[in-house]
Amino acid sequence: MGLDSYIQLFFSGITIGSIYAMVALGFLIIYSSTGIINLAQGEFVMLGGMIAVTCYHTFHLPLLLTFVVTVLAVTAIGALFEFTCIHPLKNPSVLGLIMITIAASILMRGIAMFVWGKEEHGIPTFSGDNPIQVMGASVPPQVFWILGVIFTVLVILFYVFKYTLIGKAMRATAANRTAAYLVGINVRKIVLLSFALSAGLGGIAGVLLTPMTLMSFERGTPLALKGFCATVVGGLGNPAGTVIAGLLLGLIESFVTALISSHYKDVIALFILIVVLFIKPSGLFSKSEEAKLKKF
């Protein structure tokens, strides 16, 4: 295998790793504000792809408008889910909330199968299919769209959480919900915003991924599993660690699939998760005292 093949594998890994990182950030945002793992996060990615298919093929919207409408629609679904299923609960247990997200995941998957069927769907790539040559490797243009959009989203998220009032309120809620409430922060609105933002990230990932790998009603669960692994491996509550873990997971998966066997593609993430939990339960990039895994 030549250098060009390794470069090809690198871009393939970093692309799918970026999607894992986006899903993992969705997990992280909701966990930070509510203390639960939203196991319906992968379904937001699936819905992003499916709604984009409908916008493009049924309503014949241009790709840019398809992207915008899809992200807004999935964001609204995430907010609606929180408002109808999470918001009305009085002092719910973490286990109860997790069970609700599992039920929501099953419901969304069933609705998607009913609406779009069991077959896979796709939309065109954003800028054609002619590959771009990078050091001898042929890289699809969609890869650069995925990397560019996700990098932009990460920069925006960093700015929002670091410098805006909303971001500081979300960080305060994540640190201590009671203290945040006492200083006047509307914690319930912050939780609603967290679900909407998390769903929006899933919608973006879905629209970006669908032109490359197609989308079906059952794609959400495997993506949620990989995103969850990246969240735990990177360290719950550590955004930078989560992104790095997602990228590493994608790279390892890409190289293991090509150099050893594709049979290990869906196993490698769980294997890494188990090894990390044995060696450093707090995650590779978090301090032990910051770990909150006991909440599971």
What is the structure's pLDDT at 212?
84
Q: Is the per-residue pLDDT at 69 higher than 90?
A: yes
Per the listing, tokens 């998390």 go with 198
| Average pLDDT of span 50-66 | 93
Q: Residues near 131 by Cβ (< 8 Å), separated by ≥ 6?
A: 138, 139, 140, 141
Q: Is the per-residue pLDDT at 161 higher than 60?
A: yes
Tell me which of 294 and 239 has the higher pLDDT: 239
What is the structure's pLDDT at 125?
87
Helix (H, G, I), strand (E, B) or coil at 129: coil
Percentage of the chain lying above the pLDDT 70 cut: 95
What are 162-214's pLDDT values in tens digits?
888 888 888 787 777 788 888 888 888 888 888 899 899 889 988 988 988 88
What are 224-272's pLDDT values in tens digits?
888 888 888 887 777 778 888 888 998 998 888 888 877 777 788 888 8
What are 233-242's pLDDT values in tens digits?
887 777 778 8
What are 106-156's pLDDT values in tens digits?
999 999 999 999 889 989 988 877 888 877 777 888 888 888 888 888 888
What is the structure's pLDDT at 155?
86
Q: Phi, psi (5° rounding) for residue 138?
A: -95, 110
Alpha carbons 221 and 198: distance in angstroms, whole number: 16
What is the structure's pLDDT at 153?
85
Query: What's the whole-model pTM score?
Result: 0.87
Query: Tokens in use for 106?
Result: 């099953």
Model confidence at 287, in pLDDT bands (50, 70, 90)? Answer: low
DSSP 21-36: HHHHHHHHHHHHHHS-
Q: What is the dihedral of CA 156, 225, 247, 206, to 10 degrees?
A: -50
| Average pLDDT of span 33-48 | 84
What is the structure's pLDDT at 14?
86
Query: Tokens in use for 153?
Result: 């989203």
What is the structure's pLDDT at 294?
45
What is the structure's pLDDT at 295?
46
What is the structure's pLDDT at 242?
84
Q: What angle do CA 283, 246, 264 make, to 5 degrees?
A: 95
Half-sphere exposure of 219 (CA within 13 A, CB side): 29
Helix (H, G, I), strand (E, B) or coil at 138: strand
Number of helices and strands (H, E) in the chain?
Answer: 11, 2
